[in-house]
Amino acid sequence: DVQLVQSGAEVKKSGESLKISCRGSGYSFTSSWIGWVRLVPGKGLEWMGNIYPDDSDTTYSPSFQGQVTMSADKSISTAYLQWSSLKASDTAIYFCARRGLVGATTSAFDIWGQGTMVTVSS
């Protein structure tokens, strides 16, 4: 089965660092972009950025540029999202998703990880 499996829930304090992971299996991990999407409870989905695991090329949403860092280790089919100094406002569920099925101009997120809940206390 094609799937993305994310790391488990995290509880952190403001100012701490964090790195969460997303491991792909069942497909060629280096051939598809991986996106990160944030879901704040009570709010909607927000696109954070994309990374191409083969060469670690990245595109960040202006809202998240400088706030997080995306990386990937293609040898273990894993993408990462990290924070150097968490804030309470980073409390959210974070999803990774594969950009797979292609329309005429852009590709959709066709496979999603199960989500990682990050809770940051102030």
Partner 1 sequence: QSVLTQPPSVSGAPGQRVTISCTGTSSNIGSNFDVHWYQHLPGRAPKLLIYGNNNRPSGVPDRFSGSKSGTSASLAITGLQAEDEADYYCHSFDNDLRGMLFGGGTTLTVL
Site residues (CB under 8 A) for partner 1, limited to 12-41: 35, 37, 39
Gyration radius of the chain's alpha carbons: 14
Nearer residue to partner 1 within complex by CB, 6 or 78: 6
Strands 34-39, 57-60: pairing is unpaired
By CB under 8 A, name the one of 82, 102, 121, 122 that touches partner 1: 102
Distance, in Å, from the CA atom of 105 to the CA atom of 37, rounded to the nearest integer, reads 20
Closest contact distance (angstroms) between CB of 90 and partner 1 is: 18
What is the three-class DSSP state of 38? strand
Q: Which stretch binds partner 1 (CB under 8 A): 14-22, 24-32, 46-54, 80-88?
A: 46-54
Residue with token string 């994310």: 6
Q: Which stretch binds partner 1 (CB under 8 A): 7-15, 67-75, 84-92, 111-119?
A: 111-119
- How are the residues of the chain apportioned to helix, strand and coil, as percentages rounded to the nearest 5? 5, 55, 35
Q: Catalog residues that contact partner 1 under the rule CB under 8 A.
A: 35, 37, 39, 44-47, 49-50, 59-62, 95, 97, 101-110, 112-115
